[in-house]
Amino acid sequence: MQNLKVHDISNASGETAHDHVARNPGIALDMDWVMRARANRSAIERRAATLPGRRSVKKDYQAAWLARAISLMDLTTLSGDDTTGRVLRLCAKARQPVRADLLEAIGLPDLTVGAVCVYHDMIETAVDALKGTDLPVAAVSTGFPAGLSPFHLRVAEIEESVKAGAKEIDIVISRRLVLSGDWQGLYDEMKAFRVACGDAHVKAILATGELGTLQNVAKASLVCMMAGADFIKTSTGKESVNATLPVSLVMMRAIRDYYEATGHYVGYKPAGGISKAKDAVTYLALVKEELGDRWLRPDLFRFGASSLLGDIERQLEHHVTGAYSASWRHAMG
């Protein structure tokens, strides 16, 4: 991890068009491949347990990795009491995620997050607030978070969100299809959602905490990628168990296997429960080791985050000044 310093960071708005990989077009459902998928829980948990215990990166290297984490965030508000004012503050934070003096001090005055993620009703507010930037608006869809509304309404919701200006759609799969082993049904559902998204990128939320086994996570990951998912995502953030390192390892290895077999890139998004800067660095280490440096860019990796940014900003202030500050000094808007 240590081969990255602050001056090496490129942020979301700094990526040029040719930096972005081609979308995953999907492939025909390969049931033999799906049924071969395995997950050795004990080995996976041993591997995941080695990551947090390692000595952390320090000084300029740590600042670089934390700045990279910011550039990979889907800054998110998904609450029943969301208001126009809250979304406007979130978008202001997305445009300038860290206090200007700290960004100047680390040499990244133009650093931004990767995207802003909201419910459908807040898409137009977010799009208007982000005019003049390259920041995309992502919308959760398909009856988020449960995904149990009628199928035609879930498809229509995607289409309405795209029409409203969302460039990315985070869909939720029907967990029952995984739990009952209906892989053809899951493939067909994901395929329909991909078509409804049109030019908007689609992130498939697996809700891994509700899938029962790591083997189910591996199989669901493969099926969604075969059906054309641009990203696979751990969680809605509303489940009792959200992103974990073992689940992330399983999903990343499925992405790697899919890339090696097809040549198609698929992104990864852990969401829910990642609130500390040190945890973000651990996830980035896992991405680097399992998938490689190319996945450490906004078109192939995102954090689903709401509170993570505040802790990273505190760590960056410590890097610049040598002192920790109170959280109120780094408001969300």
Query: Could you list the mean pLDDT of each consecutive 10-residue stretch along the chain, which spans 333 residues?
Result: 47 47 97 97 94 78 95 96 96 95 94 97 98 97 97 98 98 98 98 98 98 98 98 95 96 98 98 93 95 97 92 94 76 61
| CA gap 140, 152 in Å, rounded | 16
Dig out the tokens for 258 from the structure: 């899919």
What residues are paired with 293 via a beta bridge?
A: none
The one catalytic residue in 93, 269, 279, 299 is: 269
The one catalytic residue in 170, 230, 299, 311 is: 170
| CA gap 28, 26 in Å, rounded | 7
Quick one: three-class SS letters along the chain? Answer: CCCCCHHHCCCHHHCCHHHCCCCCCCCCCCHHHHHHCCCCHHHHHHHHHCCCCCCCCCHHHHHHHHHHHHHCEEEECCCCCCCHHHHHHHHHHHHCCCCHHHHHHCCCCCCCCCEEEECHHHHHHHHHHCCCCCCCEEEECCCCCCCCCCHHHHHHHHHHHHHHCCCEEEEECCHHHHHCCCHHHHHHHHHHHHHHHCCCEEEEECCHHHCCCHHHHHHHHHHHHHCCCCEEECCCCCCCCCCCHHHHHHHHHHHHHHHHHHCCCCEEECECCCCCHHHHHHHHHHHHHHCCHHHCCCCCECEEECCHHHHHHHHHHHHHHCCCCCHHHCCCC
269 catalytic per annotation:
yes
Dig out the tokens for 271 from the structure: 């969401």
Dig out the tokens for 113 from the structure: 């997050």
| CA gap 104, 107 in Å, rounded | 5
131 catalytic per annotation:
no
81 catalytic per annotation:
no
The one catalytic residue in 167, 191, 219, 233 is: 233
Tell me, what's the pLDDT at 323?
Answer: 84
| CA gap 88, 202 in Å, rounded | 24
Tell me, what's the pLDDT at 328?
Answer: 65
Contact 25, 264 (CB under 8 A): yes
| CA gap 208, 143 in Å, rounded | 17
Dig out the tokens for 174 from the structure: 């029907």
Question: What Rg, from alpha-carbon coordinates, does the chain have?
Answer: 19
Q: Which domains does the chain have, with CATH numbers?
A: 29-329 (3.20.20.70)
